[in-house]
Structure 1
Amino acid sequence: MTHISEPTHRLVPTEAGRIHLVEQGSGPLVLLVHGFPESWYSWRHQLPALAAAGYRAVAIDVRGYGRSSKPAATDAYRLTELVADNVSVVHALGEESAVIVGHDWGSAIASGSGLLSPEVFRAVGMLSVPYTPRGTTRPTEVFAHMGGGDDEFYISYFQEPGRAEAEIEPDVRGWLAAFYRALSAGTMPGPGDLVPYFVSPGGTLRDRWPDGPLPGWLGEAELDFYAGEFERTGLTGALNRYRNMDRDWADLAAHEGAPLTQPSLFIGGALDAATSWLSDAVKAFPHTLPGLVSSQLLDDCGHWIQQERPEETNRLLLDWLAELPV
């Protein structure tokens, strides 16, 4: 039996200061990028599986999260900066290239890394959020028109610095539990009910989120880990990703409509609202992802794919990785 090393925590230098990562295994490098509001820990089921299959699996804390640097400036969280962090991680690990896999915001960061640094990122895996090329309309204009009546879409709600933080800070653990519950299979509202993603005038996001037990994938210990991270760091660094969507749009002007040409993978949850909202992006894959190897929708799965369905996610990842050119 092949011996698998224990996960190792490291800090590596970047232009912003440092990125914290957790590494396991040896072989071709697979860089794992988490989403909101998570951490390297969201890949805890993938690290040993990838290592056992002969890969060097590395899960990072994205800038603004965990033990990674947290620059004060809001515009320090634009996509180009996060791509630069990923390139720095690859080089700091002594590698020239990597496969990159992201979930949620990490999916957008992974696809952006592949688009802007194709010489470094030779293949791109995306979970929950499909690749969507830069369009002609400023993102905040799109989100401002989502919903109905006076309700405000959550992405618009997140735009103003300090506003969402004021909701979250008094009870970080309770807010995270409600957020994870609202987007998980088995604990989310009924199909087609988008009410939890909207804010009433003068209200908060949590006002409309379901109460009840934790989703099956999230135990008290796992919730304690996430809560501990954000109670220590706050949520501003994480929320600043949303506050740079228009900057990203401007930064990517030269890449309007550009396809992502590397070998790629998409895994979505059939019950995930993100999959429904972005269904047109999935339909466009023949044009936007000409190197697509596999696109999968997991039945009865919500947003937190690699944690809700770790074994199935691991199998799909490993099948895809095995097909990539060495």
Structure 2
Amino acid sequence: MTQPAPAARPSATVPGAVHRLVDVPGGRIHLLEQGTGPLVLMIHGFPETSYSWRHQLSAVAAAGFRAVAVDVRGYGRSSAPSSADAYRMTALVGDNVGVVHALGEETATVIGHDVGSAIAADSALLRPDMFTAVALLSVPYAPWNAAVRPTDGFARVGGSEEFYVSYFQQAGRAEAEIGPDVRGWLAGFYTSLSGDTMPPPGTDSPFFVPAGGSMRERFTGGALPSWLTEAELDLCSAEFERTGLTGALNRYRNLDRDWEDLAAWDRARLTCPALFVGGALDSSTTWMADAIADYPTTLPGLVSSHILDGCGHWIQQERPAEVNAILTKWLRTVHP
């Protein structure tokens, strides 16, 4: 039986959307909502918030859906538990389940970007009764592998330097780098991973930290990417200046716990109707090319897969019109 929807208020930053705070077993989740129809739940990545879906909310709503973009636990106005292990994957999937229930719904289509792609995939994997279709942006689906502990695997990736995931896993280290200049760090991170402003091929990657160094020393300088205005950067950085980055970084600090928690899903296929959209210039697409090639086995419900030429990591913000067209076509396919 559905429950009445919680009170909402208009958003000042995303025209047509409303803000809502909903209670879930793990605390509370802030979300942006627009439209009516089948529920479509959007999960952002690092370091973003529900605002990263500002271009999709109206398009998905206009296509006949109830579009909802959440602030993941630890971000924005959602709860931010102090314990690092509160950010394990099972807790984040539980938050998504709680949001669906709080909105009076029984099922949802889930869309995720970056680390939100993994949260979306695992939501569909763990609760296929509730999350009946999944769209993955930028980060491909790769089944859990019981043979390789994540921390060990990422340590090997770094070689003589340190892979960014290993860097983020150390409590307090990235916070010490980011904290003195949150806006400048975010600007550098967004710019370095964007298709029109990323470092040229052959230069040192911002994903690898030199011994004794920091990530930001390899960020691209100069103008912001074309998709991000100074005002939008101000809004994004203000959220992280208020909350800090620890809650966001705690996602990376739970990968080994996830590996243990989800051992029963070793090499599990994700069988629901699915969509993948990646950027041709995004390292996630190139590094995980084998995962994409394995989709006939690992993602047998795949409806379509798209690689956008010239596009970097922030795909739904870099190419909103293209991504909206792909998403709405797919949504109408899985909800005829």
Report the TM range for the smaller structure's normalisation: over 0.9
Choose the corresponding residue for 1:147, options 155, 158, 172.
Answer: 158
Normalised to the residue count of structure 1, the TM-score between the two structures is 0.97
- Alignment map for 1:39-188 (pairs within 5 Å): 39-135=49-145, 136-149=147-160, 151-188=161-198
What do residues 39-75 of structure 1 show as CA deviations (whole Å, max 9, x unaligned)?
A: 0000000000111111100000000000000000100
Q: Deviations over 1:158-203 (max 9, x none)?
A: 1111000000000000000000001001110123655211111111
1:147 Cα deviation (Å)?
Answer: 3.2
Bigger drift between 261-270 and 203-212 goes to: 203-212
Could you tell which deviates more after superposition, 185-194 or 234-243? 185-194
1:11-30 to 2 correspondence within 5 Å?
11-30=21-40
Which one-letter code corresponds to 1:267 in the other structure?
Answer: V
Distance 2:202 2:329 in 1: 32
Are the counterparts in 2 of residues 32 and 102 from structure 1 also a CA contact under 8 Å? yes
Q: How high is the TM-score relative to the length of structure 2? A: 0.94
AA aligned opposite 2:289: S
In structure 2, distance between residues paired with 1:47 and 1:195: 33
Asked if the contact 1:184–1:215 (Cα under 8 Å) also holds between the matched residues in 2, the reply is yes
Q: Which runs of 5+ in 1 are unaligned?
A: none
What is residue 229 of structure 1 aligned with on the other side? 239
Instruction: Give the Cα separation in 2 of the matches to 1:121 and 1:186.
Output: 34
Aligned twin of 1:277? 287
Q: Distance in 1 between matches of 2:152 and 2:202?
A: 23
| Offset, 1:16 | 1.9
Aligned to 1:246: 256
Kindly state the Cα deviation for residue 148 of structure 1 after the two structures are TM-superposed.
3.4
CA RMSD of aligned residues (A): 1.0
> How many percent identity over aligned positions?
65
1:204 corresponds to 2:193:
no
Contact 2:117-2:137 within 8 A present in 1 as well: yes
Gaps of 5+ in 2: 1-14
Contact 1:114-1:123 at 8 Å conserved across structures: yes
1:41/1:236 Cα in 2 relative to 1: closer, same or farther (>3 Å)? same
Runs of 4+ with deviation above 4 angstroms: none
SS at match of 1:30: strand
Aligned residue number for residue 32 of structure 1: 42
Matched, 1:321 2:331: yes
2:318 matched to which residue of 1?
308
Deviates more, 1:242-251 or 1:183-192: 183-192
CA distance in 2, matches of 1:325, 1:57: 14
